């Protein structure tokens, strides 16, 4: 489980997270949905201890990410593509991460197969990878430690419709195995396809949340639900003189 409680983060004049609170449960695919600059990556970076919150806290399975003895075995994360150096061979990138985290080379092969990268591509250099292949490699590295919690920042970017379908199968399977799955996206229809539950963000705040099925049932589509909520929230913001 991921628990985010009143997380606030500022960078000088800019607020990237403003009292953000939500829970991502085990066995559920939770989507953090919002437009560019809404604060999704900022919150995910704080969950993974890549950034420190100014106030509030985020825990993964009951503790701060970095307080776990081998964090990678508890939570795996993917930010911006593969995270690999372009000159590295894909398999060597994963082997390096595996060895520094006391994981076996056999697990490297398992995750390469899990993300459906073809054996002929394993030894290719990452710079030769398409965007979609880089996404798959990034997802593979997040899964290396077979963690309870997986966090993917915009995993659908660069994937074609078949790739999106594959991603949905993968994430649904992980949730079915009892894992906590958190993904961010600004893509409404993809999120509607992939997530069970959504946390809606705009201008660094949570503006709503709910089960995707319920929101689609009530509003016709997740996109409509999102924009209705967005309009209301921005209206309330302007009523109170909040310019963000
Ligand atoms: N290190 C930083 N320094 C200054 N501003 C930052 C920093 N990190 C994030 N921000 C700002 O915080 C806001 C939220 O950014 P963030 O990347 O979290 O949004 P996002 O929802 O992930 O957007 P996208 O969908 O475009 O990735 C933006 O205005 C961004 O410019």
pLDDT digits (tens, 9 = 90+) for 174-226: 999 999 999 999 999 889 999 999 999 999 999 999 999 999 999 999 999 99
pLDDT value at position 243?
45
Kindly give the distance from the C-alpha atom of residue 40 to the centroid of ligand 1, in angstroms, as a whole number: 8
Q: Hey, whose CA ends up nearest to atom 10 of ligand 1?
A: 16
pLDDT value at position 239?
64
Phi, psi angles (nearest 5°) of residue 29: -95, 110
Q: What is the mean pLDDT of residues 148-166?
A: 91
Model-level pTM? 0.92
| Residues β-bridged to residue 68 | none
pLDDT above 70 coverage of the chain, percent: 96
Q: Hey, whose CA ends up nearest to atom 16 of ligand 1?
A: 39
Atom of ligand 1 minimally distant from the CA of 201: 21
Phi, psi angles (nearest 5°) of residue 239: -65, -35
Split at pLDDT 50, 70, 90, the class of 72 is confident
Strand order in the sheet with 197-202: 75-78, 149-153, 180-185, 29-33, 197-202, 205-211
CA distance 95 to 14: 38
- Residues touching ligand 1 (Cβ under 6 Å) are 11, 14, 16, 34, 36-42, 186
| Residues β-bridged to residue 8 | 55
pLDDT of residue 17 exceeding 70, the answer is yes
pLDDT of residue 242 exceeding 60, the answer is no
Atom of ligand 1 minimally distant from the CA of 34: 21
Kindly give the distance from the C-alpha atom of residue 36 to the centroid of ligand 1, in angstroms, as a whole number: 8
């Amino acid at each position: 489980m991921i628990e985010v409680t009143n997380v606030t983060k500022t960078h000088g004049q800019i607020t990237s997270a403003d009292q953000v609170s939500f829970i991502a449960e085990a066995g559920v695919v939770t989507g953090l949905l919002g437009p560019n600059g809404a604060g999704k990556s900022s919150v995910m970076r704080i969950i993974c201890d890549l950034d420190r919150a100014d106030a509030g806290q985020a825990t993964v399975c009951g503790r701060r990410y970095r307080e776990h003895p081998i964090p990678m075995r508890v939570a795996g994360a993917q930010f911006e593509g593969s995270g690999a150096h372009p000159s590295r061979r894909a398999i060597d990138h994963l082997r390096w991460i595996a060895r520094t985290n006391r994981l076996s080379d056999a697990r490297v092969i398992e995750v390469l197969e899990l993300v459906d990268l073809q054996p002929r591509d394993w030894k290719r250099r990452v710079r030769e990878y398409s965007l979609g292949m880089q996404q798959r490699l990034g997802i593979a590295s997040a899964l290396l430690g077979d963690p309870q919690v997986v966090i993917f920042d915009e995993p659908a970017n660069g994937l074609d419709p078949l790739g999106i379908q594959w991603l949905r199968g993968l994430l649904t399977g992980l949730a079915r195995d009892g894992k906590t799955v958190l993904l961010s996206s600004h893509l409404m229809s993809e999120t509607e396809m992939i997530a069970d539950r959504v946390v809606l963000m705009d201008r660094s705040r949570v503006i709503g949340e709910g089960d995707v099925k319920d929101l689609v049932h009530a509003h016709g589509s997740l996109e409509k639900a999102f924009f209705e909520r967005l309009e209301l929230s921005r209206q309330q913001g302007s009523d109170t003189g909040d310019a963000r």
